[in-house]
Chains A and B, each alone.
Chain A
């Protein structure tokens, strides 16, 4: 106690102490590696072998405790708390990456092993169980393919975009620029919120019910012809519109009121202000919002099944006949393999290859949106 008193008294006349003990920069890494090693040793002693989940959990716990102990003993309590917070945040991030990376790894390794140019360019036309049996027996190459599903995915998603982007963006413009929070605006916001929560199968059933009713009126007894790619696109639009509205609305609200006023003050009418000033300023944000919406619906399975069925062959016509998309192709392959028994492996391999293509498609879309957003974004330029 006496020493502490003298230091505080001395501090009055002496310049403030600005330096303190600090661990070397590499310390967290050394501690992390050491914790992993300790965890491996414990795993061998207690569980009799190398067990990844056990090692990971143990290493995380030991690391947290060790970081705190080392830091507290040398740097003091405040820095130790800081370090443990950093450790927890980093560990949580790593934890969140685990399922993501393992999923990507599984898709790439399984799909990558199966994928070939033939799979991408052929359909399931004329596919027989015997072909898969020959493949599994090693007598032939993998037959069949999912060209038709790629075409279906692209067409249906494109049609869904054509329907939902104009509706969604215009609705958002109404909400932000015209509604002034009036009753209609509030009602739309409420309905959009409700629509965001609609289960996707319900959207599919809605679209099918709508078009089969129309078909039944036009051609009694022919409700089945309502199963088309277009019906699927309408189902996807129901899911997509609320996302587009929400994202666009938020982006439009970010455009400063200053810019609108500057435009009005020049005698520019409101609609032209929106088209020439507000939209160009926010276009990159709107595009990212649209991409998120596309990524959300491109992987939908349930609404496609009830609206477009399962096609085995190529169909370019959105308005007539069944269509397959990659998700329904994957689902169908796993659930109803072409050949039962051991040869079902062939169907499974085609499904993994299709999954890889789907993931790649979403990634390419995201990348494209980022590039476009970067090109169109307002430049700071000096």
Chain B
């Protein structure tokens, strides 16, 4: 499991507006890559192109290549649905399905993709995914209650469990901790550390300490001004980015001197 992602000359558009310009990046399998940068610099946009969620927004389009183990996910004849089965995603706001119980939420991806599960298989998968998301002990007695009854941090881990239940190769996380308290954040960071044994993880974060704590490599994006496209400024080992970055722009950003 887990795949390498090569991004080549990626330009991303919303209608005619060029949101992100010329991204080049290589994301290694079984690693954690963090995207940092100011708001509006396009880091979430880049993340959403990696599982073709970008095009869900009307008028959005992409040019360039995103290769997953050598296969272009924007190639002709590629079905975005198949891409998304390989590349899972966790969103900024926890979004469990309100009509489903905790267990149904975990199994949603598998069930909605037409796989029939026997009861024991379903129970096993539920337990495995919830253990994987570090949530099993907290919810094992109330699997049939609605997911919306959990706390914010638990809901976010439920969403992670839901994402890993379909056994993707890559897991994308769009600011997964930005709405959580420090304890829940710690739980999710620990989880990310565990997840990288099996998955390629890409995480967008505004929290630079978090990027420094969890990631192997860090990509810094920046934007020249409103209306200008976001650009990848530097992509490097996390230790390098936070101690001795190549560009002055990165240095300024991580040390809090802007502009």
Residue numbers of A with Cβ under 8 A of B are: 180-181, 256, 258-269, 272-273, 276-277, 280-281, 378-382
Contact = CB atoms under 8 A, between A and B. Distances in A.
Nearest to A180: B58
Q: Which 4 pairs show the lowest CB-CB distances between chains A and B?
A: A267-B85, A266-B109, A378-B98, A265-B89
Nearest to A378: B98
Contacts of A180: 58
Given A272-B112, A277-B97, A266 B88 contact: yes
Contacts of A382: 145, 149
A281 B91 contact: no
Contacts of A267: 81-86, 109, 113, 166
Nearest to A262: B95
Contacts of A269: 81
A272 B97 CA distance: 14
B97 A259 contact: yes
A381 B53 contact: no
Contacts of A259: 95, 97-98
28 contacts: A180-B58, A258-B93, A259-B97, A261-B91, A263-B97, A263-B112, A265-B51, A265-B53, A265-B88, A266-B84, A266-B108, A266-B112, A266-B113, A267-B83, A267-B84, A267-B166, A268-B81, A268-B108, A268-B112, A268-B113, A273-B112, A277-B97, A280-B99, A281-B99, A379-B98, A379-B148, A380-B149, A381-B148
A262 B53 CA distance: 10
B16 to A, nearest CB: 16
B192 interface: no
A267 B84 CA distance: 5
B159 interface: yes
A266 B166 contact: yes
Chain A CB count within 10 A is highest, among B53, B58, B84, B86, for: B84
Chain B CB count within 10 A is highest, among A180, A266, A273, A380, for: A266
B109 A268 contact: yes
Contacts of A280: 99
A381 B96 CA distance: 13
B56 A261 contact: yes
B163 interface: yes
A265 B146 contact: no
B58 A258 contact: no
Given A258-B91, A261-B89, A381-B148, 12 more contacts: A262-B96, A264-B80, A264-B84, A276-B112, A280-B99, A281-B97, A379-B148, A380-B146, A380-B148, A381-B146, A381-B149, A382-B145
Interface in B199-222: none
Contacts of A268: 81, 108-109, 112-113
A276 to B, nearest CB: 6
